[in-house]
Amino acid sequence: MNYMKTFILIATMTALFVSIGYFVGGQGGMMIAFILAAVMNIGSYWFSDSIVLKMYKAEPVTGGELYQLVADLAGRASLPMPKVYIIDNPQPNAFATGRNPENAAVAVNTGLVNMMNRDELAGVVAHELAHIKNRDTLTMTITATIAGAIGMLGQMAMFMGGGRDENGNMRNPIIGIVIMIAAPIVASIVQMAISRTREYSADRMGAEICGNPQALASALAKLENGANHIGNETAENNPATAHMFIINPLSGRGMDNLFSTHPNTANRIAALQELAERGGFTRLRSEPSRSDDGNPWTR
């Protein structure tokens, strides 16, 4: 069902894009804006993983308990071993990045590792692996490309005074202003809706990967509480990255509404609890002994 919703939302954005492009400058204007937006977003797609990891000063992890946990879960998910990173940030949070499963990375904040027990940490990591398995990075890149193109077309509509009709005559400039304002807003709403849909899918698949929906539900409750009380300065300075995290890292939060990049956490927990009631899960092995120095991300 979530895949169908995503398809419908992307189709809606595409239809909106084509309609505005034709209104502004026919096929020529549409193609110019699309090519420019595509170039920017494709570049972001190929290099977004390294950019965001450097932005958050993520450090690679090549051994230790965290690394082994990711390896165990990747094996259960039939995924190639992703790169593992730790971010020195007290806010409990995590994200996945990379253009495909063969070039993926999982990054977790120190606040997450310090706050969660192993089952909860496994649930969070499994959620991020689900994003990788579902190729959500590709999905969000497509929507970002279309949204960027729609924004450009909206600006073109303003500069052209509303675009031209089939006879080359200028349209009503008021219509151009309406398009300039409304089109990017609509595109952003649809883009956020797709992001929320992908979070529900990742919760469900993450619960299957770790075999413990209740652990992921418990982790989400801790994450929500922690993120509400602990700020993330880097995320606040780069709000465009907020949708990557398992929980909204920004201080300004709302409910499960049109302008939210994440579903309401209570709704996510309820869905996981309903999933747990159905049963049939095989849990990850029990917690191993800690390393001598007690550091769960020992390199």
Residues tagged active-site: 128
Helices (H), the chain: 2-55, 65-76, 110-115, 118-133, 136-159, 173-210, 213-229, 233-237, 265-278
Whether 33 contacts 153, CB under 8 Å: yes
Those residues with Cβ within 8 angstroms of residue 58's Cβ, 6 or more apart along the chain or in another chain: 85, 86, 87, 107
Bridge-partner residues for 69, per DSSP? Answer: none
The residues, any chain, with a CB within 8 Å of residue 1's CB and separated by 6 or more, are none
Tokens of 103: 């070039």
- 140 and 198 Cβ atoms separated by less than 8 Å: yes
